[in-house]
């Protein structure tokens, strides 16, 4: 894991910081695990723009990722660590002993040739997946299920991790990347280790064109809009625009929008930090 700062031979490279891609072992994805990825450019079925600032970008193919890790008890060899254009983390190609191939989210420290296994009673080593009931307390985990059998939905992005704090009855207490502490059922699967590509946060694009390559169009600041377009628009000259809020008038920066009657609130021990 390393980053490279480029020499400023062009204006776009002056501040650019790129990934060293040391962990990547191949640039050819597994064809059987690729799927087409259609893009809408932010338009609905009538062709009307319903999401702003989306469009263009390089063509991508989706990598089918095994988030459930439900092939239990069968060892798999890590065949390669690959780049995935659809996510910030790297992915690992697993070759199971019965011949099946699957992609998983790669953890930091995963090496080609390493053997991984998921299920109950496996060793708590990096890359192995097991239920929260089997993981030692204090272990750093990632790719966590919210409901048993649902598949990983939490701590999946580059460098993300959570920590298993305690167990009580049929629940485990987990401290999530956001700072939130919540209860999860002991049957939920999680993977040992920190998600790969933790240097992703150090990247600097260097120029606006790189955002266009990723499918992001220029975003207009609300302060420079007219009052008809945004609550923060209008005013003479460079006026501040009033209290920060969304286009619909909902306050931002600290205003809580979570429903007070939400059923899952009773499982949250400590809310995330502001």
Tokens of 14: 């002056």
> How far apart, in whole angstroms, are the C-alpha atoms of residue 153 and residue 119?
18
> How far apart, in whole angstroms, are the C-alpha atoms of residue 73 and residue 202?
38
Which phi and psi (to 5°) does residue 31 adopt?
-60, -35
Q: What is the mean pLDDT of residues 87-94?
A: 97
Residue 273 has a pLDDT of 79
The beta-strand segments (E) located in the chain are 3-5, 17-19, 34-36, 61-63, 76-82, 91-96, 101-105, 115-116, 129-131, 140-142, 144-145, 152-154, 162-168, 171-175, 181-185, 189-192, 268-270
Tokens of 80: 């390669």
Tell me the domains of the chain and their CATH numbers: 3-201 (2.40.50.140), 223-274 (4.10.950.10)
Least Cα distance to 63 among 23, 25, 92, 103 occurs for 103
Q: Does residue 32 sit in helix, strand or coil? A: helix
Residue 238 has a pLDDT of 85
> How far apart, in whole angstroms, are the C-alpha atoms of residue 201 and residue 55?
24
- Report how far apart, in Å, the C-alpha atoms of 144 and of each of 101, 175, 217, 258 are: 22, 11, 32, 22
Whether the CB-CB separation of 48 and 36 falls below 8 Å is answered with no
Per-residue pLDDT of 16-70, as tens digits, reads 999 999 999 999 999 999 999 999 999 999 999 999 999 999 999 999 999 999 9
CB atoms within 10 A of CB 93: 23
Mark 1-25 as b/e (b = at least 16 C-beta within 10 Å).
beeeeeeeeeeeeeebeebeeebeb
Whether the CB-CB separation of 113 and 78 falls below 8 Å is answered with yes
Per-residue pLDDT of 160-218, as tens digits, reads 999 999 999 999 999 999 999 999 999 999 999 999 999 999 999 999 999 999 999 99
């Amino acid at each position: 894991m390393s980053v490279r700062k480029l020499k400023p031979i062009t204006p776009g490279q002056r501040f650019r910081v790129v990934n060293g891609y040391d962990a990547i072992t191949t640039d050819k994805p597994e064809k059987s695990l690729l799927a087409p990825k259609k893009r809408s450019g932010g338009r609905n079925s009538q062709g009307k723009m319903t999401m702003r600032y989306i469009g263009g970008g390089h063509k991508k193919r989706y990598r089918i990722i095994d988030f459930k890790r439900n092939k239990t008890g069968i060892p798999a060899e890590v065949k390669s660590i690959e780049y995935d254009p659809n996510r910030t983390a790297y992915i690992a190609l697993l070759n199971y002993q019965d011949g099946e191939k699957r992609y998983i989210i790669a953890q930091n420290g995963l090496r080609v040739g390493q053997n991984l296994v998921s299920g109950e009673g496996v060793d708590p080593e990096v890359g192995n997946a097991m239920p929260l009931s089997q993981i030692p307390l204090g272990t750093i985990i990632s790719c966590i299920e919210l409901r048993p059998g649902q598949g990983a939905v939490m701590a999946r992005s580059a460098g993300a991790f959570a920590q298993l704090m305690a167990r009580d009855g049929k629940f485990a207490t987990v401290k999530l990347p956001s700072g939130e502490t919540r209860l999860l059922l002991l049957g939920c699967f999680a993977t040992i280790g920190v998600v790969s590509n933790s240097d992703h946060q150090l990247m600097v694009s260097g120029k606006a064109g790189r955002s266009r390559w990723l499918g992001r169009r220029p975003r207009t600041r609300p302060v420079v809009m007219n009052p008809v377009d945004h609550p923060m628009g209008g005013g003479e000259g460079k006026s501040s625009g009033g209290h920060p809020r969304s286009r619909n008038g909902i306050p931002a920066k600290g205003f809580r929008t979570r429903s007070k009657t939400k059923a899952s609130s009773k499982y949250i021990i400590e809310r995330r930090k502001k």
